[in-house]
């Protein structure tokens, strides 16, 4: 079978060997968890608890009050120690609930099993997903309930389950596929029912042949088709994966809805199944702890709100020379300035290494490698120049807002220009101009 | 908890190992066979030209960086070495070293630094230097010597293209044989004569993807088509496309000068227009112009269109139905 793929893209070093064959371990819940009310794309959840209150394991502590939001839940049982601004992986302090773990995991009484989740109605599935506060676990943390509620005028025919894990180093999704194939496929089936789609396609990069074989073997009983896609970054980017598997192009500024597709990460599919089956909210997630600076790289299942420090301690700690901590993958992850930030729903990995001294930036020599590698067909060097010289309308015409910030351009830039940074700045400026105009 | 300080930086956190100096030194490495060939054919005269051009270019760059209070970084990125080498390679063996130095100063000062240094120039710096010499010292720039390996004893000697243009070589039957052009045993600028040496380096650049294959391909294609039509119509009057490709500065221009990243377009569509334009211009000048050779002016001419081409064309954005230009 020919492996499917998309045009352009890059081949960064994979670095998955150190954790690929390490089974997911459950990290014991820490003594204290910090649960930010804002862990997702959209608006923060509204606070439901007070300082000093006792909460159950799995109790809702933040309510999604608007459409683009997701509820948050207590990941341990215990007392609310404080409700205040706390360091957050995204950089700014965010209103967070700090819980003291009483170690009893007293389960929230509202959790209830469903005997046959596959018999649920679409509306029931959506309600369960919303109640469980599920968001996209690939990293962008887009509220899943919104994603499985397509607008009436946009019929969905295909569900794509994203098992690419194209970010180097990360292996948590691979482990999920190896250890929970049935849950993933059943979760995909629930998504299919909720959206009224006809078929499920699973895309897995060909460096994860074992996961492909396993899922293909299971897929027959779930009416899903499994495809190998080429190992190339960013194969798992939503729009590129849709193109690779279906040859459909999501229109500029559009969503996968526009071409009749819903894409879900494998971890999200599993979370959907768990929520439907046991009523359990999203209180934990799988992540990879790796990088040269981590003494014992591992794949872990971690309670949301666990401080990074507790996670790295469990992996043998960090080496002395570590000077960089990244949440997520090396291509799109966010560097952290402290280890007291909590694991949030979008934390797909924690990486640590000793970063070499930054290399001096050269002037752009117009080698056009950024153009050659941009998976969106943009001209990063031109966008960079437009932003630098404040020609925002030109930047917009040349597709600044189409940039997915995958970093392929900057990766391949021989002049070491921070292209993504410039484009991101431009996107922010364009958006704030638009907001001003509409206000 | 440790009060350790971590580096904050914008993603991506991985970076390819290739860099501007690496690219430049690959080009220098690829030029070496042709440099060796030129020293073999023109002996000490070639050595003298190389040394004076390299030293003068390097010194000019250093002075300009110092005056402009810029970091001396670009002195070591290799770009100035390429300018010096390419300029020397496109000079006739008879040229006095003072003129070579003047050409070098113009190349770096006017060709590169006045625009803001590496990455900002519009024209290929080496060609700017050469064009200056050609206009200011036309006689010195067109006085040729036979290569040291050729046992001819004449005061004046014409290049194969000069022969073709001004001596009616095709009619007379004195056209330089292809084989001689291929190995480089003919008159001309010191670095342009040996086709095999230039192609050897070009192979390296193409396999390492340092240069865009479309540029030499487009130039060769256009020149072959243009000269081929005339050759087929009148083989007793016009030289064959093979002769036109191997003679003069076409190969060094197509593989090493037109491909200069800074002064060539950035997307495929623009690149094709640029390359085909150079090929046709070379054909026009050689067949109908006042000069026997047109590679230099063709490249400089098409260089002027690069900013326009870069702004007019852009690739199709994923999900874009129709192009907005």
The pLDDT value recorded for residue B324 is 42
d(CA A437, CA A430): 11
Closest CA to A263 of A193, A175, A407, A163: A163
Per-residue pLDDT reduced to its tens digit, B243-301 = 999 998 999 999 999 999 999 999 899 999 999 999 999 999 999 988 888 999 999 99
In chain B, whose CA is at the least distance from the CA of A325? B6
The pLDDT value recorded for residue B172 is 82
DSSP one-letter string for B105-166: HHHHHTTTGGGTSTTT-SS-HHHHHHHHHHHHSTTGGG-----TTS----S----HHHHHHH
The pLDDT value recorded for residue B322 is 54
Annotate chain A with three-state secondary structure: CCCECCCCCECCCCCCHHHHCCCEEECCCCCEEEEECCCCCCCCCEECCCCCCEECECCEEEECCCCCCCCEECCCCEEEEEEEEECCCCCCCEEEEEEEECCCCCECCCCCCCCCHHHCCHHHHHHHHHHCCCECCCCCCCEHHHHCCCCCCCCCCEEEEEECCCCCCCCHHHHHHHHCHHHHHHHHHHHHHHHCCCEEEEEEECCCHHHHHHHHHHHHHHCEEEEEECCCECCCCHHHHHHHHHCCCCCCCCCHHHHCEEEEEHHHHHHHHHHHHHCCCCCEEEEEEECCCECCCEEEEEECCCEHHHHHHHCCCECCCCCEEEECCCCCCEEECCCCCECCCCCCEEEEECCCCCCCCCCCCCCCHHHHHCCCCCCHHHHHHHHHCCCHHHHHHCCHHHCCCCCHHHHHCCCCCCHHHHHHHHHHHHHHHHHHHHC
B50 burial type by CB count under 10 A (0-12 exposed, 13-18 middle, 19+ buried): buried
Q: How many CB atoms lie within 10 A of CB B69?
A: 6
A396 located within any domain: yes
In chain B, whose CA is at the least distance from the CA of A328? B11
d(CA A231, CA A273): 28
A249 to B318: CB separation less than 8 angstroms, yes or no: yes
CATH number of the domain at A207, please.
Answer: 3.40.50.11540
The pLDDT value recorded for residue B74 is 77
Chain B, 291-310: which have a CB under 8 Å from a chain A CB? 310
Per-residue pLDDT reduced to its tens digit, A326-385 = 999 999 999 998 899 999 999 999 999 998 777 788 889 999 999 999 999 999 999 999
d(CA A317, CA B159): 72
Same domain, A384 and A270: no
Q: Which residues of chain B have pLDDT under 50?
A: 1, 323-325
How close is the nearest chain A Cα to the Cα of B22, in Å?
8
Per-residue pLDDT reduced to its tens digit, A70-117 = 999 999 999 999 999 999 999 889 999 999 999 888 888 877 788 888
Among A168, A411, A414, beta carbon nearest to B20 = A414
Which of residues A251, A278, A305 is at a domain's end? A278
Is residue B324 less than 8 Å (CB to CB) from chain A? yes
The torsion angle over the Cα atoms of residues B203, B208, B212 and B215, rounded to 10 degrees, is -10
Closest CA to A151 of A248, A70, A258: A258
Among A371, A375, A412, beta carbon nearest to B16 = A412
Is residue B17 less than 8 Å (CB to CB) from chain A? no
Is residue B118 less than 8 Å (CB to CB) from chain A? yes
A160 located within any domain: yes
Is residue B290 less than 8 Å (CB to CB) from chain A? no
d(CA B161, CA B223): 15
A331 to B13: CB separation less than 8 angstroms, yes or no: yes
Same domain, A253 and A125: yes
A395 located within any domain: yes
A134 located within any domain: yes
The pLDDT value recorded for residue B315 is 87
Among B4, B14, B310, beta carbon nearest to A330 = B14
**Chain A partners of B319 at a C-beta cutoff of 8 Å?**
239, 249-252, 254, 402
Same domain, A127 and A234: yes
In chain B, whose CA is at the least distance from the CA of A10? B16
Is residue B212 less than 8 Å (CB to CB) from chain A? yes
A15 located within any domain: no
Which of residues A261, A278, A295 is at a domain's end? A278
How close is the nearest chain B Cα to the Cα of A121, in Å?
34
Q: Tell me the whole-structure pTM to 2 decimals.
A: 0.90
**Chain A partners of B119 at a C-beta cutoff of 8 Å?**
362-366, 415
Among B16, B73, B324, beta carbon nearest to A411 = B16
Same domain, A226 and A373: no
Please measure the distance between the N-terminal and C-terminal CA atoms of chain B and give it in whole angstroms. 56
A79: tokens are 């007392």
In chain B, whose CA is at the least distance from the CA of A420? B11
Same domain, A246 and A380: no
How close is the nearest chain A Cα to the Cα of B304, in Å?
15
Dihedral sign, CA of A39, A44, A46, A52? positive
Are B100 and B53 within 8 A, CB to CB?
Answer: yes
The pLDDT value recorded for residue A342 is 95
How close is the nearest chain B Cα to the Cα of A314, in Å?
15
How close is the nearest chain A Cα to the Cα of B13, in Å?
5
In chain B, whose CA is at the least distance from the CA of A89? B8
Which of residues A278, A313, A348 is at a domain's end? A278
Residue A119: pLDDT above 80? yes
Same domain, A139 and A241: yes
How close is the nearest chain B Cα to the Cα of A145, in Å?
25
Q: Can you give the C-alpha Rg of chain A in angstroms?
A: 21
Please give the interface size between A and B, counted as residue pairs whose CB atoms are below 8 Å apart: 166
User: What is the number of structural domains in chain A?
Assistant: 2
A330 to B16: CB separation less than 8 angstroms, yes or no: no
Per-residue pLDDT reduced to its tens digit, A149-173 = 999 899 999 999 999 999 999 999 9
Same domain, A123 and A269: yes
In chain A, whose CA is at the least distance from the CA of B22? A414
Per-residue pLDDT reduced to its tens digit, A203-226 = 999 999 999 999 999 988 888 999
DSSP B176: P
The pLDDT value recorded for residue A1 is 59
Taking CA A144 as the corner, what is the angle to CA A141 and CA A148, rounded to the nearest 5 degrees?
145
A61 located within any domain: no
Residue A240: pLDDT above 70? yes
Same domain, A136 and A267: yes
Among B8, B15, B23, beta carbon nearest to A367 = B23
A78 located within any domain: no
The pLDDT value recorded for residue B169 is 82
**Which residue range forms the structural domain that includes residue A434?**
369-438
Same domain, A401 and A260: no
A368 to B267: CB separation less than 8 angstroms, yes or no: yes
The pLDDT value recorded for residue B323 is 44
**Chain A partners of B9 at a C-beta cutoff of 8 Å?**
324, 335, 355, 358
In chain A, whose CA is at the least distance from the CA of B13? A330
d(CA A275, CA A425): 38
Per-residue pLDDT reduced to its tens digit, B222-250 = 999 999 999 999 898 899 999 999 998 99
- At residue B281, the 3 state secondary structure works out as helix
How close is the nearest chain A Cα to the Cα of B285, in Å?
29
d(CA A81, CA A34): 10
A412 located within any domain: yes
Same domain, A274 and A388: no
Is residue B65 less than 8 Å (CB to CB) from chain A? no
d(CA A322, CA A324): 6
B261 to A399: CB separation less than 8 angstroms, yes or no: no
């Amino acid at each position: 079978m020919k492996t499917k793929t998309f045009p352009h893209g890059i081949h960064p070093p994979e670095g998955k060997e150190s954790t690929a064959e390490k089974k997911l371990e459950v990290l014991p819940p820490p003594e204290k968890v910090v649960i930010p009310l804002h862990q997702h794309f959209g608006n923060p959840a509204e606070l439901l608890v007070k300082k000093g209150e006792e909460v159950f394991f799995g109790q809702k502590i933040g309510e999604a009050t608007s459409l683009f939001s997701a509820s948050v839940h207590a990941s341990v049982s215990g007392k609310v120690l404080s409700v205040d601004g706390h360091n957050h992986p995204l950089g700014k302090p965010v209103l967070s609930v700090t819980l003291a773990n009483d170690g009893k995991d007293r389960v929230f009484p509202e959790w209830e099993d469903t005997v046959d989740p596959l018999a649920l109605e679409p509306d029931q599935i959506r309600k369960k997903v919303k109640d469980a506060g599920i968001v996209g676990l690939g990293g962008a943390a887009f509220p899943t309930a919104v994603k499985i509620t397509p607008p009436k005028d946009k019929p969905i025919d295909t569900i794509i389950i994203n098992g690419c894990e194209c970010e180097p180093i990360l292996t948590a999704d691979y482990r999920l596929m190896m250890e929970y194939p049935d849950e993933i496929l059943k979760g995909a089936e629930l998504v299919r029912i909720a959206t009224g789609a006809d078929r499920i396609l699973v895309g897995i990069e060909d460096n994860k042949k074992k996961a492909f074989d396993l899922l293909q073997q299971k897929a027959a009983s779930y009416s899903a088709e499994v495809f190998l896609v080429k190992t190339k970054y960013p194969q798992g980017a939503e729009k590129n994966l849709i193109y690779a598997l279906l040859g459909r192009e999501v229109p500029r500024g559009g969503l996968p809805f526009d071409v009749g597709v819903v894409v879900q990460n494998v971890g999200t599919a599993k979370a959907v199944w768990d929520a439907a089956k046991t009523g359990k909210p999203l209180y934990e997630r799988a992540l990879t702890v790796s990088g040269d600076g981590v003494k014992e790289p591992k794949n872990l299942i971690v309670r949301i709100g666990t401080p990074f420090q507790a996670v790295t301690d469990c992996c043998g700690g960090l080496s002395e020379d570590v000077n960089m901590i990244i949440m997520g993958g090396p291509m799109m992850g966010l560097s952290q300035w402290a280890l007291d930030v909590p694991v949030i729903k979008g934390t797909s990995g924690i990486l640590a290494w000793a970063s070499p001294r930054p290399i001096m930036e050269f002037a752009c020599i117009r080698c056009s490698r950024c153009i050659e590698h941009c998976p969106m067909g943009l001209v990063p060097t031109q966008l960079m120049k437009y932003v630098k010289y404040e020609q925002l309308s030109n930047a917009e015409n040349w597709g600044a807002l189409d940039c997915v910030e995958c970093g392929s351009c900057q990766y391949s830039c021989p002049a070491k220009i921070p292209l993504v940074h410039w484009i991101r700045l431009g996107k922010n400026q364009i958006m704030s101009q638009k907001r001003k105009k509409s206000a | 908890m440790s009060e350790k300080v971590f580096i904050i930086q914008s993603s991506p956190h991985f970076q390819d190992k290739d860099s501007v100096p690496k690219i430049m030194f690959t080009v220098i490495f690829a030029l070496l066979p042709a440099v060796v060939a030129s020293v073999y054919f023109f002996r000490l005269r070639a050595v003298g030209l190389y040394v004076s051009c390299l030293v003068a270019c390097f010194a000019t760059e250093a002075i300009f960086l110092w005056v402009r209070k810029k970091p001396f970084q670009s002195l070591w990125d290799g770009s100035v070495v390429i300018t010096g080498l390419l300029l020397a390679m496109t000079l006739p063996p008879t040229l006095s070293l003072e003129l070579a130095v003047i050409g070098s100063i113009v190349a770096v000062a006017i060709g590169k630094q006045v625009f803001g240094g590496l990455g900002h120039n519009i024209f290929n710096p080496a060609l700017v230097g050469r064009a200056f010499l050609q206009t200011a010292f036309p006689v010195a720039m067109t006085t040729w010597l036979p290569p040291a390996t050729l046992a001819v004893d004449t005061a004046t000697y014409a290049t194969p293209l000069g022969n073709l243009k001004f001596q009616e070589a095709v009619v007379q039957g004195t056209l330089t044989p292809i084989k001689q052009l291929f190995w480089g045993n003919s008159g001309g600028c010191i670095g342009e004569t040996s086709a095999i040496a230039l192609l050897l380096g070009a192979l390296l650049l193409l396999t390492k993807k340092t240069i865009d294959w479309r540029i030499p391909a487009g130039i060769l294609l256009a020149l072959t088509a243009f000269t081929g039509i005339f050759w087929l119509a009148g083989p007793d009057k016009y030289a064959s496309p093979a002769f036109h490709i191997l003679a003069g500065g076409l190969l060094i221009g197509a593989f090493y000068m037109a491909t200069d990243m800074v002064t060539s377009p950035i997307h495929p569509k623009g690149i094709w227009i640029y390359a085909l334009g150079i090929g046709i211009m070379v054909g026009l000048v050689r067949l109908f112009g006042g000069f026997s050779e047109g590679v230099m002016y063709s490249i400089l001419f098409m260089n002027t269109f690069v900013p326009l081409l870069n702004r007019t064309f852009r690739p199709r954005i994923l999900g874009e139905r129709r192009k907005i230009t």
